[in-house]
Structure formats: C-alpha cells, structure tokens
C-alpha cells in the first residue's frame, strides 16, 4: 500500500518566521520551490517549448527587479508573493500561445492552484502526529522539501508530483505514465522512503 497524504494547515504547524526583506538575493533560495510548482501547473504541451526552469527564471528576475514592491515580512507572505508572480507568467504564456486577451480571473484561479499545490507540498510528509523529523518539511523548510523531491529519480519524482502534489488518483497516474497501478504504488513507496531519509539526514 502506498502512503496516504494528510493535509495540514501551515499556520497551525509553522512559526511562520520573518524574512530579510532588505536583500532581493533571498529570491534565489526559492528556485527549487518555484520550479516544482511550475512543473505542476505548466501545461505539458507548453513544457516542450518553454521549460519550467525557464519560466521560473523569468519569474525570479521580475521578483528581484520588483523586490521593493514586496510589502510582506514573513516567509509565508514571501512565498505567496512569488507564487503570484509565477501565476502571472504561466497565464501570460498561455495567453500568448492562444493569442487571447488577459484574463484576470484566470490569473486568480492559477494563484489559487499554485497555493493549493504549495499546501500539499508543505503537508507531504506530515502525518496526524508529525514527528520533529517530519516537521522539517513544513513552513520555512518547504524549500528543502522541494529540493528533496527534485533530487529523486525521474520516475519517482513524476509519480509523487502527479499523485501527491496534483492530487490525481493512482489509476490516473498509471494512465499518464503508462505504468500499472502496482508499479506506480511501488514508485510512490520508494520515493516517499527516500524523501524521509533525505530530510532526516538534514
């Protein structure tokens, strides 16, 4: 059996620390986090033309250039601001590909999708009674979580992304990846075990 994901509200499990809002260089630390979210939401048809990494670089550049416009003070607020910028870029790409006009509602919807994926990322390894080692994935350590997922073998990373971060059923992941449900369950089990080990080592 593959592990079940339990959602947790970060506001209840994280101290939501302050961040240094005087140095825009802090944006670079969130590159793995933004790349993970971009891979989830960027349409597969677009990824062949514009990779998630390229999209994230554009969003990070805008964030650095406009860092004076960030009005928050906490780590969670910074993540939200960066997600807003990323959502704008994803929708802008979608608009260019289809030559559509700007749709503010779509951008707001994309922001909500990114926020939901972020919440699932933060709660990925947290159970009903999270241990200290499991808690490292929450709140301010979400960057480490994203890095750990990125370091997984591609097949495990894809299975975890589709099932846990996009919320697809096992059968849906199997159909997308062209594998059996049993094989997908095995990838999820090995991937989760590796993630826990990586995070425990840190």
pLDDT of the residue at 46: 57
- Sign of the C-alpha dihedral computed for residues 151, 76, 126 and 109 taken in this order: negative
User: Is 0.75 surpassed by the pTM of this model?
Assistant: no
| Residue with tokens 């808690």, as numbered in its chain | 135
Q: Quick count: other Cβ atoms within 10 Å of Cβ 129?
A: 7
Provide φ and ψ at 111, rounded to 5°: -60, -40
Give pLDDT < 70 ranges for the chain: 1-17, 43-50, 96-107, 125-140, 202
b (16+ CB within 10 A) / e for 174-184: beeeebeeeeb
């Amino acid at each position: 059996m593959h592990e079940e994901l339990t959602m947790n509200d970060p506001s209840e499990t994280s101290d939501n620390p302050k961040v240094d809002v005087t140095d825009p260089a802090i944006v670079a630390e969130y590159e793995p986090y933004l790349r993970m979210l971009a891979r989830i939401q960027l349409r597969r048809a677009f990824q062949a033309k514009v990779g998630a990494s390229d999209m994230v670089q554009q969003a990070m550049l805008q964030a650095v250039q406009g860092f004076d416009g960030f009005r928050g003070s906490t780590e969670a607020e910074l993540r939200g601001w960066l997600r807003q910028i990323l959502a704008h870029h994803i929708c802008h790409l979608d608009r260019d590909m289809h030559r559509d006009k700007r749709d503010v509602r779509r951008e707001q919807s994309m922001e909500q999708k990114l926020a939901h994926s972020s919440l699932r990322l933060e709660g990925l390894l947290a159970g009903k009674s999270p241990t200290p080692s499991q808690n490292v994935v929450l709140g301010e350590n979400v960057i480490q979580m994203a890095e750990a997922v990125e370091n997984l073998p591609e097949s495990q990373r894809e299975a975890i992304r589709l099932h846990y971060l996009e919320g697809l059923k096992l059968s849906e992941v199997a159909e997308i990846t062209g594998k059996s449900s049993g094989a997908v369950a095995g990838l999820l089990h090995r991937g989760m075990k590796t993630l826990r080990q990586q995070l425990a080592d840190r």
